Amino acid sequence: GGTWEFPPEGGSIWRYRAHSPVADSINFGFESYRMPEGGELRLLSAGDGSPLLERAFTSKDNSDSHGELWTPILDDDDVVVEAKLPVGVDPFEMSLVLTAVNVGYRGFRGRRNGRERARARRGVRALGGGHNENEERRLSGACNVDVECQAGDDWRDEIPSVAVISTSGYLSCSGAMVNNVEQDQKPLFLTANHCGVRKGNAGSLVAYWNYESSKCGNLPPDGSLTQFTTGSTLLASLSKSDFTLVELDSKPDSSWGVTYAGWDANAVNAAWAVAIHHPNADEKSISFEYDPTTTEAAGAEVRVRDWDLGTTEPGSSGSPLFNQNHHIIGQLWRGSAACDN
């Protein structure tokens, strides 16, 4: 599919348009991605041709381990995939096998849907008299505490280590960058086993960094998903303690300030504990348990009796649990926490 163009000045351009008028979002999965040196792939709004991402995909995104490329979720309903090759590069040197075009059926993050955002970019008035900004709300409970609130001040070093992830094209869980004994900034990422990252789909993992509200309690929510890394390789997982460890294909850009969280594997209960997470895949939150944790299931579970400030929800799964020393002692995998519990 798609069309080729060969400009008179040389080089070549391939374009593919995906338009779903009922979509709230679109993302793409390439089963095979191989970009020659000097080539680039961009995702553009079909309405005005503006780029939907801050960067292009290049040869640096080629993966020798899985050979795939998965894009972040895009707030649009009409997208052009454009690949440009420079003069002297044969189109047969490029491999793009597009096997997944995923369309969202409802607006994730509780925000107005992609087609309304696309209309706004194109200056087209929405049906029914326009858009009410108050409709841009959160899916997570009102008792969640934004990391920008004062409660997060003592955790500014750990907060940037946490990301929300999508796998195979949909937002699912939280996770965190973790340090190693070499302290060489190897991009190791911890999440939960039940989040479904497996050897066969680890290449589709997209991690979104610094997805946070700009102010404490900010409504409408204004977090951005523009800072992302794509692709990973599964290193280890275990259902008993519900952990998964992957190595990301690339380190987060240094300008994003992503940190590598420390951890403690000793079987010692925390005097008190903190979770940093993305409840319902919303902007990043922080929760506090002021009582000691307990250990159950022959050491495989660290139990938080209840959250004294904030809560955890679906989407928080895989998020790191820190002890009072700011070290990870586990990752979230189950429970009945809620704002009314």
Q: Active-site residue numbers?
A: 194, 242, 317
C-alpha to C-alpha distance for 194 and 331, rounded to whole angstroms = 11
First-to-last C-alpha distance (Å) of the chain: 52
C-beta of residue 189 within 8 angstroms of C-beta of residue 202: no
Our CA angle for 199, 321, 329, nearest 5°, is 80
C-alpha to C-alpha distance for 212 and 225, rounded to whole angstroms = 9
Q: Half-sphere exposure (CA, 13 Å, Cβ side) for 292?
A: 5
Sign of CA dihedral 191, 192, 198, 199: positive
C-beta of residue 318 within 8 angstroms of C-beta of residue 331: yes
**Conformational region of residue 284, where left means phi above 0, alpha means psi within -120 to 50, and beta covers everything else:** beta
C-alpha to C-alpha distance for 259 and 211, rounded to whole angstroms = 14
Token reading at 241: 């303690």
C-alpha to C-alpha distance for 43 and 68, rounded to whole angstroms = 16
* Cα dist from 257 to 113, 129, 130, 156, 243, whole Å: 30, 41, 37, 11, 25
Residue with tokens 């303690």: 241
C-alpha to C-alpha distance for 179 and 265, rounded to whole angstroms = 13
C-alpha to C-alpha distance for 249 and 230, rounded to whole angstroms = 7
Q: Which amino acid is present at 225? A: L
